[in-house]
Structure 1
Amino acid sequence: MILLLLSLSVKSQDTNDTEIVEDYSIADQLYTKCFENLNQGIEIFEKYPPLKSRKFCSLIECMFLYSYKEEDIKFAAEKRLIGIATQLYNAGTPVYLTMGMDSYLYATEKNKNLEDDDHLIYINYGECTNPRFLSDAAEIINRQTLSLIKQSTSK
């Protein structure tokens, strides 16, 4: 019996059988997509040498950029988030970020039909607890997306 348990333990630690699951959903693609043509904040990044070499060209990167305490960096992050949300809207792929319990399941379910609710693509960025900067950054994106939708429907 001990020999059987030891062999199972050794087999469970075998990393050759590890299955890698990659998600290529539209939400994940848009969350990590790099928008090369962003120029908001370039002058601010010049003041901070560690930031000069980074692109900060995706939603996820700009959301984390929003975590800096320096107001000018936060301002640049906000402008980039607005720019990305606008580009996504103009490309016909408006995004809405969600968080909270079961938000991944909610986003997955909502993304099954991309022809409903103004073609919004829901992106889950976290479950129950997240740092405040992520929620604030998501609010910037959602506010811009909803503003653009409202403008287009009022025409």
Structure 2
Amino acid sequence: MIRKIFLLLSFFSFFLAESQKDSNTVVDNSVSTQLYTKCFQNLNQGNEIFKKYPTLDSSMFCSLLSCSFLLSYKETDIQMTAEQRLIGITTQLFKEGNPVYLISGLESGSTEKKKNENLEDDNHIVYISYAECTSPFFLKRAADIVNQQTLSLIKNESSK
């Protein structure tokens, strides 16, 4: 009898733990998250920098999100590589028909969702919220680089 009770309690404990684990896991499959984290393996900007700094693995820095973190390094050559890669990724996304624009600030997550409800408006721009309130300087700088490139590409496209 005690064995059955123990088995039953074990079963319920396992079930409770599994259900809590699943409820704490949040998966964001939004188009903005997919584009922010999309890895471009064909990047060759700054390959010489990755040879100079062997602790940096070039294959890790292949998305908008990861390349943004390169801007946090104090070495100017690493920052230049980050800029080049961010511009390259932004250009590739634009050519795929997915121009991106990075936003931040109070309720930028809500703004992102609202603006991305209809991706057929305003030049098909996909808005990506990278910070709700405050963010480190390097993320703001990355957003400036990406947004400037996106607007430049849109302007060039519309002047054709």
TM (norm. structure 1) is 0.88
Q: How many angstroms apart in 2 are the aligned matches of 1:103 and 1:15? A: 33
1:69 aligns with 2:70: no
1:17 aligns with one of 16, 19, 35:
19
1:37 corresponds to which residue?
42
What residue identity is the alignment partner of 1:50? T
Q: How many angstroms apart in 2 are the aligned matches of 1:45 and 1:28? A: 26
2:133 corresponds to which residue?
128
How many residues get paired? 143
- The one-character-per-residue Cα deviations of 1:49-85 (angstroms, maximum 9, x if unpaired) are 1014643101100001111110000000000000000
Q: How many angstroms apart in 1 are the aligned matches of 2:37 and 2:57? A: 20
Unmatched runs of 5 consecutive residues or more in structure 2: 1-12
Q: Tell me, yes or no, if the aligned pair for 2:32 and 2:126 is still in contact at 8 Å.
A: yes
- The one-character-per-residue Cα deviations of 1:104-132 (angstroms, maximum 9, x if unpaired) are 00000000000000000000000110000
What residue identity is the alignment partner of 1:17? S
Q: Tell me, yes or no, if the aligned pair for 2:33 and 2:128 is still in contact at 8 Å.
A: yes
Equivalent residues in 2 for 1:4-153, closer than 5 Å: 15-18=17-20, 19=23, 20-52=25-57, 54-153=59-158
Unmatched runs of 5 consecutive residues or more in structure 1: 1-10
Q: State the shift of 1:134 in Å.
A: 0.3
Q: Tell me, yes or no, if the aligned pair for 2:41 and 2:59 is still in contact at 8 Å.
A: no
TM (norm. structure 2) is 0.86
What residue identity is the alignment partner of 1:108? K
Q: Tell me, yes or no, if the aligned pair for 2:71 and 2:142 is still in contact at 8 Å.
A: yes
Structure of greater Rg: 2
- The one-character-per-residue Cα deviations of 1:121-150 (angstroms, maximum 9, x if unpaired) are 000000110000100011000000000000
2:159 corresponds to which residue?
154
